[in-house]
Each structure stands twice: as C-alpha cells, then as structure tokens.
C-alpha cells in the first residue's frame, strides 16, 4: 500500500482531518484537507467536525488547535517541530509593563507558546494584526514576541504607543535588502512581496506587504509576471499551483527547519499509533483561550 493510501485509510479509521501550514513540505500540503496560514487554520480548527486533528506545522499551532477544541484529539506528526520565536518573550517584562501602563494591551502574535498567550489580552496573526490593534481601545500596546511585525504594525498605527519585544523569526530575518536588490537588478520588473516578519529595511522595498495568504492573493490579482517572494519557501507550492506560468524568485534560502520536520511518514505513524497528542494543563488552556477567542471576534 502506498503511503498516501495508508494515510487516507487511517484518516477514515481515526475520523481525522489534516491541517497543514503553507510552510510545510509540498507533499504534506498535497495530502492535507485544509492548507493555510495561521489565521485561516485557527478559524478552521473551530469548525471541524472530525474527532481528530492532525496538525502539520509547528508546536504553537497544535497548541492553538487544542486550546480552541478541547474535546478533540490533536496530534502532531513531530513533537520536535517548533518555532524558536514562539518562546521569545519574558513574562517578568510583561508584568513590569502592566505595572507601568494602566491602559496596556498585551498583543500576542499567534506564533507564541500557550503560556505566553495566558499573559496576553489578544492574539493576532500577520493577516489581522493591523485591524485588531486599530480596533483596540488601549493607547499603549506591548507587542510580543515578534519585534519586526510589531514595528510594522506600529508604523501603520502612529497614534498608539508601542513597546517592542526583542523576539524575531530567524527565517525571515535572514532575508536582506542587499540580496533582494541583487535579484531585482537581474529582474527589474519583478514585484517584491514581503512578509511583515521581515526587517523594516526589507519591508521598505516591498511592492506588497502581507501575510502568506495575502501574498498568495496578491499574486493571483497582480498583472506582473515575476515576483521576488520574501517569505518561507514553502509558499511556492501554492503559488505555482495557482499561477504556474508566473516566475517566483527567492532572495536567499528562506527555509524553516521546524516546518520541514513534518513528513508523510510521520503523519502516517502519528495517525497509526495516535501518538504525539497535544496536552495542555486545563488552567493554561482556559487562560490561553481568551486572547485567541478575542482575536477571532475582532479579526
Ligand atoms: S518561519 Fe519563522 S515564525 Fe514561522 S514557524 Fe518558522 S521560525 Fe517560526
């Protein structure tokens, strides 16, 4: 039996659906029932009827699915698949900021651990961060954990005061303005598409700044034929599917090793053995659910 047949059979036996982020391997995206960015997947996770969710992504995504679906079994193909940035915020600093500013909203990028979410007022994704921060009544915003996304949002909401955290995504940070310029010099008509986890000098070069879904949507609407895609390379799979005649260029090796740990073999093994089940302490789950639910309401 092929690995694909095996996964399909196990899905039926376990009453399971497979969710995959755009950054996982092409073949994993291919077998998934739903593929998307963090915002789409967190919304879908609240609507799923199946008993089991296989989350092909990194650990904070599985945690978010479990937080929103406590009655379901959420399994991860590889428990080692993690996002370093998800851990990059200091609880003592959050508490200190809360003491300093009475009117403080702790805005937490969804790329964060469940524990960090428990210290937050609202979660955001790169798709909805701008909309949600604008909608908040608070004047003081402590944006965790990603400094780059925080600075991008702050640049669009000048009437609010932001406190930045020093977290970052090493994958997006590796994209440099210099490398983009090298590609642009060779392909002067190429449009530059940038994820807001990139640094501000890279964002300043962009024809379009947005989430992974936003970038995909932009490409489908744009009349341009060439694009320099400044985000994780996995998005190429969906871009090529949607626009096979367009040319997608890199400005470096933008590769998330955590996402790439997920393989078809691991999906099959996790489903077969029902292993790598996401477990959260009930107190953490309840507290972390509040900012996620608020995001879904505001976003
Ligand atoms: S691409 Fe960056 S932010 Fe996304 S999971 Fe990988 S390390 Fe984390």
DSSP letters for 156-201:
H-TTSEEEE--B--HHHHT--HHHHHHHHHH-TTPEEEE-TTS-HH
What is the distance in A from the centroid of ligand 1 to the CA of 8?
A: 28
Q: Which residues of the chain are modeled with pLDDT < 50? A: none
- The rounded distance, in Å, linking the Cα atoms of 147 and 145 is 6
Probe ligand 1: pick from 41, 58, 129, 148, max atoms within 8 Å of CB? 58
Residue-level pLDDT at 299: 77
Atom of ligand 1 nearest to the CA of 58: 5
Residue-level pLDDT at 212: 94
| Tokens coding 3 | 């690995």
Residue-level pLDDT at 67: 93
Residue-level pLDDT at 298: 87
Residue-level pLDDT at 252: 84
Residue-level pLDDT at 39: 78
Residue-level pLDDT at 248: 98
Residue-level pLDDT at 43: 82
Residue-level pLDDT at 46: 84
Of the candidates 168, 190, 183, 189, the one whose C-alpha atom is nearest the C-alpha of residue 84 is 168
What is the distance in A from the centroid of ligand 1 to the CA of 83?
A: 5
Atom of ligand 1 nearest to the CA of 232: 1
Residue-level pLDDT at 253: 85
Residue-level pLDDT at 179: 97
Residues in CB range of 252: below 8 A, 6 or more apart: 174, 175, 176, 179
Q: Which residue's CA is the nearest one to ligand 1's atom 2?
A: 169
Residues in CB range of 107: below 8 A, 6 or more apart: 120, 121, 122, 123, 124, 129, 132, 133, 136, 141, 142, 143, 144, 150
Residue-level pLDDT at 161: 98
Q: Which residue's CA is the nearest one to ligand 1's atom 6?
A: 256
Residue-level pLDDT at 208: 98
Q: b/e map of 97-114 (b: 16 or more CB within 10 Å)?
A: beeebeebbbbbbbbbbb
Atom of ligand 1 nearest to the CA of 197: 3
Q: Are 260 and 71 in contact (CB under 8 A)?
A: no
Residue-level pLDDT at 277: 98
Q: What is the DSSP letter of 205?
A: T
Q: Ligand 1 pocket: which residues have CB below 6 Å?
A: 23, 58, 83-85, 111, 169, 171-172, 197, 232, 256, 258-259
What is the distance in A from the centroid of ligand 1 to the CA of 10?
A: 29
């Amino acid at each position: 039996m092929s690995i694909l047949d095996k996964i399909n059979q196990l899905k039926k036996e376990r009453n399971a659906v497979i969710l995959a982020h755009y950054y996982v391997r092409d073949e994993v995206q291919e077998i998934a029932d739903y593929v998307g960015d963090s915002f789409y997947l967190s919304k879908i996770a609240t609507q799923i009827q199946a008993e089991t969710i296989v989350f092909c992504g990194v650990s904070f995504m599985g945690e978010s699915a479990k937080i929103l679906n406590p009655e379901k079994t959420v399994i991860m193909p590889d428990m080692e698949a993690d996002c370093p940035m998800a851990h990059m915020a200091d609880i003592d600093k959050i508490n200190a900021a809360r003491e300093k500013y009475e009117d403080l909203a702790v805005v937490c990028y969804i790329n964060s651990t469940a524990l960090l979410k428990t210290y937050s007022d609202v979660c955001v994704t790169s798709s909805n961060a701008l909309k949600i921060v604008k909608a908040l009544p608070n004047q003081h915003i402590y944006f965790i954990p990603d400094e780059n996304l925080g600075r991008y949002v702050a640049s669009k909401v000048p009437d609010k005061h932001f406190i930045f955290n020093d977290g970052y995504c090493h994958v997006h940070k590796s994209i440099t303005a210099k490398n983009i310029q090298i590609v642009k010099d060779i392909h002067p008509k190429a449009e530059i598409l940038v994820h807001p986890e990139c640094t501000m000098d890279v964002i300043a070069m962009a024809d379009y700044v947005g989430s992974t879904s936003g970038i995909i949507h932009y490409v489908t609407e744009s009349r341009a034929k060439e694009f320099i895609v400044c985000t994780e390379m996995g998005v190429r799979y969906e871009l090529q599917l949607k626009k096979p005649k367009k040319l997608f260029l890199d400005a470096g090796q933008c590769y998330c090793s955590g996402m790439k740990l997920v393989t078809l073999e691991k999906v099959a093994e996790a489903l077969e053995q029902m292993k790598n089940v996401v477990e959260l302490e009930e107190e953490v789950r309840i507290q972390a659910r509040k900012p996620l639910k608020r995001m879904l309401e505001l976003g």
